[in-house]
Amino acid sequence: MMIYDTIIVGAGSAGSVLASRLTEQRGKSVLLLEAGPDYENEDKIPDQIKYGVRPWYESHDPLSHTWGYQAIATPSRPEPFLLPRGKVTGGSSAINGQVWFRGIPEDFDEWEAAGNSGWSYLKVLPYFRKSEADLDFPGDDFHGSRGPIPVRRYVENDLLPSPRAFLDACFAAGYPRTEDMNHPDSTGVGFYPLNRIDGIRMSTALTYLETARNRLNLTLRSDVLVNKVLLEGDKAVGVEVVSEGKVFEVFSNLIILCGGAINSPQLLMLSGIGPAEHLSTMGIEAVVDLPGVGQNLRDHPAVFMHYESRIPHPELVPPLQVGMRYTTPGSEFRNDMQMRPIHIRTEHIPLDYQITEGSVPTGFSIALQKALSKGEIRLKTSDPALQPILRYRYLNHPYDLERMRGAVRLCAEISAMPEYQRAEMSRISPGDEIIENDERLDQWLFDNVLTQHHSSGTCKMGPGSDYLAVVNESCEVHGVENLMVVDASVMPDVVRSNTNATTIMIAEKIADSLSAHQNNTI
């Protein structure tokens, strides 16, 4: 019976990084398991994955390359919404909007202050730099120049009418210009850093995994569903998987879950690791009682303000080019809001929205970056093939609702400025009668709030004294030997930015730690 040194569950943003870095040591065997398909080279990648001009969904098949998750946004809105998470090598990095945006220093300093030694901004900065090759800011103190992920920004001449007018209107309103949105002191309006080069989405599958794919010590298996982690007492020894309709057991000295903020806590609970009372209702014996598994579900609550443009938008231009991060007046949280013009695609248009003939649907995305509301994940059944219950509870905290209300009104003001009018846009929703009334606006927010695609926090990193902590500062599961979680689920709180770059940083940092430990034991 073969026993792998490491089994990695999930070939996404984190799993591909770990597989690549850990197999740099030739004597260490790694099995990488992916539930979705694998495309062996760039030529075989479907256009939707390769080019990334319509992120998250394919127009002809909204469930393609995703898990097909459905989630509840608020308790007052029981109808579910589609929550796309990547089910393909590269994971969500293969279907996302390609925004290479870091959290701000305060995010990581808060992680360390919560008892996670080594996760301050200064400690994680080397791993951000290690992961990237920033083509606009090569090799300075804050950016990398030799990492696997290439990064560049749009320039003025590349901008669509709405982003160009948005920049001018924000400057006229007094918001500062930021040349580099990944600078630690960045705030204001600027060009998004994007991991999209020459029209190609540079996912972890095309970067990290591509460099490791032919190594003899890496075994990649796609279209494999992991049912549970195999335990001997409180020690992880392998995984149970389903492949081509058959059930197998595979064994390893170390199991690393990289399934993301939904799949990783689901898999822990299916394995008997989680809230004992909840597991018992599912008929699952609790091997390790960890109340925090599936709790602390974080995201950036987002609404899309819908406009129509009389200027055609090129189909091959990605939807995101520029944005603004700013601090809500009076907020103690710096850069707690993000606003950006967006070329609206299928996933943003409400089902009851009728496009006016001759007009182009477009608008703005507004997202709260430091939400106080928290959701949860719970099992619906003990069947691994069925999705868990996802309750996000967006805007449940009054301060979240207050800040989103102000952001919608600010966006309406900016889009009404003379500097923005040359974009030839007209606002459709919300109308003035909604924006001017607190009660109506609150209802519109509850009716329209959705995900910004940054689910995190459900296997929270923290010390053993933290009741809701699932992993320690080394991403080792509390109370279980030889089991780790390394993905966005370990974030104690979601960072004030898109999450892909931070997830990759986490994987780089843990890979470095594991490699150093292995070298010391040789």
Q: What are the chain's domains?
A: 3-61+84-94+201-297+455-521 (3.50.50.60), 121-198+299-448 (3.30.560.10)
- What sections of 282-338 are H helices per DSSP? none
Q: Give, as one character, the DSSP assignment of residue 103.
A: P
Does the predicted TM-score (pTM) go above 0.85? Answer: yes
Q: What is the pLDDT of residue 520?
A: 61
Per-residue burial over 161-188, b = 16 or more CB atoms within 10 Å of its CB, e = otherwise: bbbbbbbbbbeeeebeebebbbbeebbb
Q: Which of 143, 306, 454, 478 is catalytic?
A: 454
What six digits make up the tokens of 510?
């843990």
Q: Is the CB of residue 22 less than 8 Å from the CB of residue 256?
A: no
- What pLDDT is stored for residue 352 in this prediction? 45
Per-residue confidence (pLDDT) for residue 354, from 0 to 100:
58
pLDDT in tens, the chain (522 residues): 789 999 999 999 999 999 999 999 999 999 999 999 999 888 899 988 998 776 666 555 667 899 999 999 999 999 999 899 999 999 999 999 999 999 999 999 999 999 999 999 999 999 999 999 999 999 899 999 999 999 999 888 888 888 999 999 999 999 999 999 999 999 999 999 999 998 899 999 999 999 999 999 999 999 999 999 999 999 999 999 999 999 999 999 999 999 999 999 999 999 999 999 999 999 999 999 999 999 999 999 999 998 888 777 776 677 789 999 999 999 999 999 999 998 765 444 544 455 566 666 788 999 999 999 999 999 999 999 999 999 999 999 999 999 999 999 999 999 999 999 988 888 989 999 999 999 999 999 999 999 999 999 999 999 999 999 999 999 999 999 999 999 999 999 999 999 999 999 999 999 999 998 766 655
How far is the C-alpha of 45 from the C-alpha of 43, rounded, in Å?
6
Q: Which amino acid is at 185?
A: D
Q: Is 453 a catalytic residue?
A: no
CA atoms within 13 Å, Cβ hemisphere of 420: 24
Predicted confidence at residue 312, as pLDDT, reads: 73
Residue-wise DSSP of 375-442: BEEE-S-S-TTS--EEE--TT-SHHHHHHHHHHHHHHHHHHTSHHHHTT-EEEEES-HHHHT-HHHHH
pLDDT of residue 47: 86
Q: Exposed, middle or buried, 500 (CB in 10 Å: 0-12/13-18/19+)?
A: buried
pLDDT score recorded for residue 442: 97
Q: Would you state the pLDDT for residue 315?
A: 67
- Strands 149-153 and 193-194, by their bridges, are antiparallel
